[in-house]
Amino acid sequence: MTGMVSALSKLKRNIHGTIGVMLIIFGGLGFVLGIIGGSTPVEPGRFYEQRPLAPITGIFVDSVGNIYYGSSQHNAIQIFNNQGVFLYGVSFTAGDGGIYFYVDHDDTLHIFSPRGNVVLSFIEGYLVYYRRFDAFAESAALRTRFRSEQTREFTDAYENRYTTGTGRNVRMYDSNGNFMRTIRPDSPISAPPPIIFFFVAAIGMVIVMISNWSTIVKIRF
């Protein structure tokens, strides 16, 4: 009877250990691939194949009501009309330091990538300006210039307010704060951010340690 209990206990530890190792492998690979995917150099330009929107770095609305969604994880800013229909996107190398962007009065899109050390401008999705820089002072000045637009809220020229939370839907309010409508962009499901995979791997390590605690204690003492 004692032997059976011991065998069952050992089997339970082995199962838990296997689950823990699988979580470590899955979480570790997801974390590494997520980091690599976010920092892989991307040729700046226009694209027509939709990418996931989340996590959203910021939003902006141009003069005709098109909504610009920024996502540094996907090296892109994607443009939708005011009905949530995808129009096109622009790609660039964002690095892992976030992106800052705004759309000026003639609907030219300007992007600043701190980790990519680049400033880019696009007109209707086509690259018209590209400049690299290395000076820290210039980077700090550009951060100040662009930071106000790294937000999930935007107010247009008519004082209409657009806001989005952790999701991709945008809620629109008039100048008096009255809710007008919700804009639901059609986009693919986003993969979880790398930090989620990191926590999955960490949970796996905890499970492995707990399942082998008696062995760890014996080795230590």
The 10s digit of each residue's pLDDT in 103-141 is 888 889 888 876 667 788 899 888 898 888 776 667 667
User: How confident is residue 201, by pLDDT bands cut at 50, 70 and 90?
Assistant: confident
pLDDT at residue 72 is higher than 70: no
In the block, which residue shows the tokens 């090296």? 75
Sheet of 170-173: strand order equals 153-155, 161-163, 170-173, 179-183
Q: Which residue has the higher pLDDT, 92 or 121?
A: 121
User: How confident is residue 180, by pLDDT bands cut at 50, 70 and 90?
Assistant: very high
User: How confident is residue 10, by pLDDT bands cut at 50, 70 and 90?
Assistant: low
Domain that holds residue 81: 45-191
CATH number of the domain residue 141 falls in: 2.40.10.500
User: How confident is residue 148, by pLDDT bands cut at 50, 70 and 90?
Assistant: very low
131 and 82 part of one domain: yes
- Tell me the CB-side half-sphere exposure of residue 95, using CA atoms within 13 A: 13
Stretch 72-97: mean pLDDT, rounded?
80
User: How confident is residue 146, by pLDDT bands cut at 50, 70 and 90?
Assistant: low
155 and 92 part of one domain: yes
Stretch 11-16: mean pLDDT, rounded?
65
pLDDT at residue 6 is higher than 70: no
117 and 155 part of one domain: yes
User: How confident is residue 31, by pLDDT bands cut at 50, 70 and 90?
Assistant: low
**Model pLDDT, residue 179:** 94
79 and 185 part of one domain: yes
Please tell me the total count of domains within the chain: 2
Stretch 61-72: mean pLDDT, rounded?
86
pTM greater than 0.75: no
77 and 6 part of one domain: no
86 and 55 part of one domain: yes
Please state whether beta strands 58-61 and 100-103 pair in parallel, antiparallel, or not at all (unpaired). unpaired
| Euclidean distance between CA atoms 75 and 97, whole angstroms | 11
72 and 164 part of one domain: yes
Closest listed residue to residue 17, CA positions, set 215, 221, 151: 215
Task: Return phi, psi of residue 95, to 5°.
Answer: 70, -160
